Amino acid sequence: MDINSILKEAFLKEASDIHITPGVPPIYRIHGRLVRTDDSILTPEMVEEFVRQITNENQFKILEQKGEIDFSYSIKGVSRFRVNVYRQRGSYSIAFRIIPVNIPPFETLGLPPVLKEFTKLNKGLVLVTGPTGSGKSTTLASLIDIINKERDVHIITLEDPIEYLHRHNKSIINQREIGSDTLSFADALRAALREDPDVILVGEMRDLETIAIALTAAETGHLVFSTLHTIGAAKTIDRIIDVFPPHQQQQIRIQLSTVLQGVVSQQLLTRRDGKGRVVATEVMIVNPAIRNLIREAKTYQIQSIIQTHQRQGMITMEQSLIDLYKRGLISREDAFNYATDFDFMQRLLSA
């Protein structure tokens, strides 16, 4: 059994993820569901051999020291893959995420057109949030691609690992990978401020230091895009503020209220017909009222502003889910399961 042949088959079957773990055959995630292949059951020795095939000497050394490693892997003529190798119960397992070779055009993603307005900004912070596997990287790659094609700016991306490959277009674009090009998001972001960027993509705001530098970057005239594993604008804002110690939180509220331009929260749902997945999206566009609520620690009131400002392009997760349900794309059950405000969802369904 060859790892490349497993990955090629997964690509042809339109899988999003591949799991390689001892005791079971290779498993694909297709349209959100796990599917076992008919291949042989994997042994720890087989999986370790796969690991050695896809890692270089330095990567394998890091894996032995830390017990896990992230990197990218590519098969010419097939696709690129985001890879996480990790140790479990004394042996190795591998999780692959398939990354399309070409950046999907924005119009094919099913996202609200208003998101393209974020690509026209000169400064500020735009966050794309959602659970793992919800398409955040694809959304950001698509927005960066729009900027790359339409604006003459310098774009720096900081990723762990690099997923979509961008080529210089109207913009120049430099992509740095955590672990191989730089040590950490914080180090890379600090350095980026000395590299004359106009636009900075931070793959993930994982810690206090990275968040603090990202806020400073947005405050000093840069357009910063990043992600968080949250659902909903209010929860995203609260998560950022809660990272900081209590004595700093009011200052962070003021800073965030000044630089934040928008929060996009997204979830991927299996289509009702089983043929692929669709995205449900919440969009908050920061206006003066929302800036005041952030500053005054009244984020719990943000949801009502999103509900009543659809004409500005805002939409709640529930409104997005209802739209997908009424168009026959998702089931009523899924619409409820993915909602964050059940009372509001019930009112929308009854209207």
Of the residues 99, 116, 133, which one is the last residue of a structural domain? 99
Residues 139 and 23 in one domain: no
Residues of the domain holding 287: 106-350
The answer to whether the bond into 104 is cis (omega within 30° of 0) is: no
pLDDT at 100: 85
Residues 320 and 254 in one domain: yes
Domain count, the chain: 2
Residues 66 and 186 in one domain: no
Give the CATH number, domain containing residue 9: 3.30.450.90
Residues 287 and 190 in one domain: yes
pLDDT at 54: 97
Residues 114 and 53 in one domain: no
Q: What is the residue-wise DSSP string for 250-274?
A: HHHHHHHHHHEEEEEEEEEEE-TTS
pLDDT at 274: 87
The mean pLDDT of the chain is 96
116-174 pLDDT, tens digit per residue, is 999 999 999 999 999 999 999 999 999 999 999 999 999 999 999 899 999 999 999 99
pTM of the model: 0.91
| Residue 34 burial (C-beta neighbours within 10 Å; 0-12, 13-18, 19+) | exposed
42-51 pLDDT, tens digit per residue, is 999 999 999 9
Residues 146 and 250 in one domain: yes
5-41 pLDDT, tens digit per residue, is 999 999 999 999 999 999 999 999 998 899 999 999 9
Percent residues over pLDDT 90 in the chain? 92
- Stretch 202-206: mean pLDDT: 94
Of the residues 50, 75, 99, which one is the last residue of a structural domain? 99
Residue 349 has pLDDT above 90, yes or no: no
Residues 65 and 147 in one domain: no
Residues 39 and 20 in one domain: yes
Give the CATH number, domain containing residue 199: 3.40.50.300
Compute the residue count for the chain.
351
pLDDT at 213: 98
Of the residues 66, 99, 132, which one is the last residue of a structural domain? 99
Residues 127 and 241 in one domain: yes
